[in-house]
Structure 1
Amino acid sequence: MTKPKPVGPDDHELVRELHAQHLSRNEIARRIGRSGRTVSRIADHLGLTFERGDLVKAATEARKIDARAKRAALANALLDDAERMRRQLWQPADYVDHGGKEFIRVDWTTPEPTFADKTKIMQAVGIAVDRAVKLDEYDADPGIDAAKSMLGALARGLGAAYDQLTQAEAASDGG
């Protein structure tokens, strides 16, 4: 029987290079002319592993990080949308009507949206803020109470503004 050749630095370097190419233990063994057991010993010595679980865990973690970043960006965009919509409450509003038998188009502008439209705007603002808060809560660490508190205060403030609009309508309807 022939004696196996000793494992040397070249074997270690080859295992390191081929492992970096995500080759299996058996494929590395075939390429360098060594047994799978020898390749496993070299890999252990180099701190390398052939467990797919490690790759799957890393890929899963990367996907979670990407999704977390997307949710954060979406939450910020929703808050930006809520701000833009809320500003519309106090801006001139353009209206168009196609009424009558002749379908005559009538355009007009009011100093502010009608109360009904303000109500719809506030509902849309509330929905946008609510969804942003939920996205933030999904990824929140327990130590992020300050951010949650700020978003909660914003939501309560928007709710109070909505209540004021509702009271103003009730007062104008009654008087």
Structure 2
Amino acid sequence: MGRPITETDRRAVRRHHAAGMSRNAIAKKIGRSASTVSKIASSFEPPLSFDRAAEVATATAVRKADLDQRRTEMAHRLHDVAERELGKMTERTLYWEWGGKDHTYAQKEQPEPTPADRRTMMATAGAALDRSLKLLPPKQDPGTEGRSVVGELMAGLARDYVARHGGPPPDADDDQAAADGQ
């Protein structure tokens, strides 16, 4: 059986709780178990609570926001890598080597990298873009946005036609039939 709870323990728990310490921190500070601190806290009227759900929720939200920011920054950096690699594909490239028994140095400049090097650059750029898009997917398909703009334009023209002519615009088939003389 553990040692009995003293009035000193009760005062210490109340004082540390008022200072905002957690149950485990109080237990460590006064040299008692966390369950003993909980027992002491529940003996007060009203009982002392160590419920920190609101604090935990706030801390979790802040942590998620920080991770979102870091993920966004990483996605931008990966896009930069991809652009840099794609830019190298058409730049002049210096190739060099050490060789021979005399360890001679030779270099050659070419207008573009070799096909093998270009393939490597393309793979690097593709991997960087792929990871970037996984970290930060596009918010909306650009084609969808373009279609919605055209749709809104057509709807606006139809409303304007109704306002001017008092009825819906004729169908394209009706226009073609009138042009054919039917």
TM-score class normalised by the smaller sequence: 0.5 to 0.7
CA distance in 2, matches of 1:136, 1:36: 51
Q: When the two structures are superposed, what TM-score results if normalisation uses the length of structure 1?
A: 0.53
1:146 corresponds in structure 2 to 141
- Aligned-pair distance for 1:77? 0.8
CA distance in 2, matches of 1:101, 1:122: 36
1:63 corresponds in structure 2 to 63
1:22 corresponds in structure 2 to 20
Q: Which amino acid aligns with 1:62?
A: V
- Aligned-pair distance for 1:36? 4.6
Residues 146 and 50 (structure 1), Cα distance of their counterparts in 2 relative to 1, 3 Å cut = farther
2:73 corresponds in structure 1 to 73
Tell me which protein shows more helix as a share of its residues: 1
Higher relative contact order (CA 8 A, sep 6+): 1
Could you tell me the percent identity over the aligned residues? 31
CA distance in 1, matches of 2:53, 2:115: 59
1:132 corresponds in structure 2 to 132
CA deviations on 1:130-170 (whole Å, 9 max, x unpaired) are 00011014xx7xxx2237x8xxxxxxxxxxxxxxxxxxxxx
Secondary structure at the aligned position of 2:141 is classed as: helix
Q: When the two structures are superposed, what TM-score results if normalisation uses the length of structure 2?
A: 0.51
> Segments of 4+ in structure 1 off by > 4 A?
none
- Aligned-pair distance for 1:50? 5.6
Secondary structure at the aligned position of 2:101 is classed as: coil
- My pick for the range that moved more, 71-80 or 51-60, is 51-60
Are residue 116 (structure 1) and residue 116 (structure 2) matched?
A: yes
Matched pairs, number: 108
- Aligned-pair distance for 1:101? 1.9
CA distance in 2, matches of 1:116, 1:59: 49
1:93-108 correspondence runs (5 A): 93-108=93-108
Structure 2: gaps (5+ residues): 1-16, 27-43, 145-182
CA deviations on 1:79-98 (whole Å, 9 max, x unpaired) are 01111110101100011111
Secondary structure at the aligned position of 2:89 is classed as: helix
Structure 1: gaps (5+ residues): 1-17, 28-34, 41-48, 150-175
Q: Which amino acid aligns with 1:89?
A: M
CA distance in 2, matches of 1:102, 1:127: 40
CA distance in 1, matches of 2:112, 2:89: 7
